[in-house]
A and B are shown apart, each in its own frame.
Chain A
Amino acid sequence: MAKVLFNEERCKGCELCTMVCPQKIIFMADRINKQGYHPATVEEMDKCTACATCARVCPDVVITVEK
């Protein structure tokens, strides 16, 4: 099963990953991390295809992708 892991404390909330997800499953969380940003997160993980596009555009290497 495909899985994306977000290292939320490193996320700066730039939203670039939300632009590129072909499944449109990445959203910005309501919670705020220690840096003061709304971190990116995935709500419907079962729809993830592990394409890793989100990880490749993330400037902060927040995202790890497994399959």
Chain B
Amino acid sequence: MTVVFDRPKSLRDVRTHYCPGCLHGVAHRLVAEVIDELGIREIGIGVSPVGCSVLAYNYINTDWQQAAHGRAPAVATGIKRVHPDKFVYTYQGDGDLASIGTAEIVHAAMRNEKISVIFINNGIYGMTGGQMAPTTQIGQKTTTSPFGRSAEHIGYPIRMTEMLAQLEGDNYLARGTLHNAAGIARAKRYIKKAFQYQLDNRGFSMVELISNCPTNWGMHPKESIEYIKEHQLKYYQLGEFKGGEEASK
């Protein structure tokens, strides 16, 4: 018998606090798989955000710092400047990275800070109970957009990866999805490239991952997969925006 699929070593063998069907679990596993494959667990220092993944440090088996809301890129900057030879990564949601922490992510990218960012975009604030995020779709109902997000009232969803791709420098920016097996496999390749970018001392790297929130979207996990296909992926284009082969085409 050969094992075709098993838990990566860097993923701690514990139950997660995430809701049923929440794709944070898949993203965590991909990060752990890549850490295993690159052999960087011993030099890894993670920075967890505020939001559902505030407890990410319970799951991925590296040293961690827990940052204030939106400030993970600044905290990671402090760590990386002290230990340029270590692998420093942040794991952030869209409320954290695309709203309260926009200054920190833009300037970490501008400095081409040699950190890697995993950015989970599920279009909503999960931890605080389903409020509207900058990434919420037009028409999407949340607890603070009860009539659906209106572009006239609060503008259009922000595409962070495209925005950061405008910055100069040798950085890596990609957007993947977690909603099906092919997307997950591709997302893992992006994460591996992003981490390798840092290990090669090249520059800032970020992988945005389209994810779900069945609980606060108010739907069954299976329906949330359909919602991603019908809405998220029509607005958020997948691919490498900077630094990869796809981007240079």
Contact = CB atoms under 8 A, between A and B. Distances in A.
Chains A and B touch (C-beta atoms under 8 A apart): yes
Interface of A: 3, 10, 12-16, 19-20, 35, 37, 50, 52-53, 55-61, 63-67
A35 B21 CA distance: 14
B27 to A, nearest CB: 9
A56 B180 CA distance: 9
A37 B20 contact: yes
B15 A10 contact: yes
Contacts of B154: none
B222 A61 contact: no
Given A16-B221, A57-B181, A60-B16, A66 B4 contact: yes
Most buried by A among B4, B16, B185, B221: B4
A57 B5 contact: no
Contacts of A58: 25-26
A61 to B, nearest CB: 5
Interface residues of B, number: 29
B97 interface: no
Nearest to B1: A66
B181 A66 contact: no
Interface of B: 1-7, 11, 15-16, 18-26, 29, 180-181, 184-185, 214, 220-222, 225
Contacts of B19: 12
A57 B25 contact: no
A16 B2 contact: no
Contacts of A67: 1-2, 4
B26 to A, nearest CB: 5
Contacts of B225: 16, 19
B4 A14 contact: no
Contacts, number: 74
A37 B20 CA distance: 9
Nearest to B25: A59
Contact of B21 (A14, A56, A65): A14
14 contacts: A12-B19, A20-B180, A53-B181, A56-B185, A57-B184, A59-B16, A59-B25, A60-B18, A61-B11, A61-B25, A63-B5, A65-B4, A65-B5, A65-B6
Contact of B3 (A10, A12, A61, A66): A66
Contacts of A19: 222, 225
Contacts of A65: 3-6
B180 A57 contact: yes
B23 A59 contact: yes
Contacts of A14: 20-21, 214, 221-222
Contacts of B25: 58-61
A50 B19 CA distance: 27
Contacts of A12: 19-21
A15 B180 CA distance: 13
Contacts of A60: 15-16, 18, 25
Given A14-B221, A15-B222, A59 B22 contact: yes
